[in-house]
Amino acid sequence: MKYISTRDESKTPYSFSDILIAGLSPDGGLYLPEEYPQLDGVLLDQWRTLLKEQGYAALAAEVLKLFVDDIPAEDLEGIAKRAYTTEKFAHEDIVPVTHLEDNIYLGHLSEGPTAAFKDMAMQMLGELFEYELARRGEALNILGATSGDTGSSAEYAMRGRKGIRVFMLTPKGRMTPFQQAQMFGLDDPNIFNIALDGVFDDCQDAVKAVSADADFKRVQRIGAVNSINWARLMAQVVYYISTYLRMTDNNEQKVSFAVPTGNFGDICAGHIARQMGLPIDRLIVATNENDVLDEFFRTGNYRVRSSADTFETSSPSMDISRASNFERFIFDLLGRDSERTSELFGTKVAQGGFSLVDDPAFPKAAHEYGFASATSTHADRVATIRDCNERLDTLIDPHTADGVKAARDWKDQVSTPIVVLETALPVKFADTIREAIGEEPEIPERFAGIMEAPRHVADLPNDPEAVKQYILDSIQASEV
């Protein structure tokens, strides 16, 4: 199994371990497998039995083996077993599935240590990083950006790990108090929180700018944990497979997914699973008022927006107007044309976006790749949370509410069950929950006292050079 960059016309192949550490390709592109491994009915039947008898970690190991050929199989099994334990996850199924209403179900991705779906990939990534760095005798300085949940999931997965430092950029004042407390309350010496004066897209741009400085990246050993890192998507493919297996008795059945998304990472994993042959019917993109992705799938226009035009909403982890992982899907949609992909995402996006309205590939997004989309407003979220709580006795967070609303929009047009991928526990978004149901969400016991912890965060201007200087100063101080 080799990997290529979406922007590399020469299709230079890389090993998994190399792209794990590198994160972003030197040409600015994103890594994908040269070819997606294929699933067949025999394998799915075997995995259905494996999941029932041995659980999620055993399934995860088998999926990893399809994508990783430069780490021994028994080591991958150990990595998966350590990542997905009941000590870290609050439910023995790791990703349980429950019925909500009609043909709509919930895939619970928030049983991990930070109560967010990002834990599903980050726990795996932490194990992979520590394993590979130890094997190489190297260290890594992880640089990431978060709109809410990625940061805390990354920090909880990496805290205390040998040879790893984490530098996480956050949009100053844009995360909920609980999200800030989860991150800024950590006092581990290998964790560095940065509040950037801007929105999430500015944070993401700063990460890309630092990574684009090849000399700085090489000398300072800069790596990535954002969903630009292929290993995260690989880990997320597992829960699409596990959810499908839990929802079906045989492989003739199909399942659809409604996925709240801003950066296109969560649903990109669904796209990959579908390309592997998992019997997925529709992939429904659920957005909030920052509806760049919904606009594309409806019209063919990918119109990115400036920081000033990015709305601050009650589902803040989706307040994104430039979806990094979207490049991976467009690469596939355009027949893996690296030259066109490079032009669109290397040039056109910087100029405001691009249009595929008249491109013969655009109709394939729905007809061949199964994509659909919907969008929500704050009023929609509040009404959905209130309805699910009062009528269905199920309390959901605002992002999951975007997903439920999208599933309801499409349920009469889809003949298969729709699984809404839950994104976080309601406790992380207390203000909106209180507005919807008139009371505070319950705080799980494992988060008791989190709001009172001292804060550890550095305020920086929206300037990649300031970020680089902070990284240098922090590395030097920690080596003294």
What long-range pairs does 434-442 form, CB within 8 A, spacing at least 24?
435/382, 436/381, 436/382, 436/383, 436/385, 436/386, 436/389, 437/385, 437/386, 437/389, 437/390, 437/395, 441/395
Among the listed residues 52, 118, 208, 411, the single catalytic one is 118
In 245-321, at which residue ranges do the beta strands (DSSP E only) sit? 255-260, 280-287, 301-303
Orientation angle between helical segments 150-158 and 177-184, nearest 10 degrees? 20
Tokens 């691009």 locate to 354
Please count the residues of the chain: 480
Q: Does the annotation count 118 as an active-site position?
A: yes
As a whole number of Å, the CA-based R_g of the chain is 21
**Phi and psi for 167 in degrees, rounded to 5?**
-115, 115
What long-range pairs does 74-83 form, CB within 8 A, spacing at least 24?
75/131, 79/124, 79/127, 79/128, 79/131, 80/124, 80/127, 81/57, 82/127, 83/57, 83/123, 83/124, 83/126, 83/127, 83/235
CA distances in angstroms from 288 to 100, 269, 419, listed in the order given: 21, 20, 18
In 226-357, at which residue ranges do the beta strands (DSSP E only) sit? 255-260, 280-287, 301-303, 353-355
User: Nearest CA to 107 among 98, 115, 116?
Assistant: 98
Q: Which residues pair with 420 in a beta bridge?
A: 106, 258
Q: In angstroms, rounded to a whole number, what is the distance separating the alpha carbons of residues 266 and 214?
A: 28
**Phi and psi for 231 in degrees, rounded to 5?**
-60, -30
Q: In angstroms, rounded to a whole number, what is the distance separating the alpha carbons of residues 5 and 11?
A: 7
CB 475 within 8 A of CB 463: no
Kindly list the catalytic residues. Answer: 118
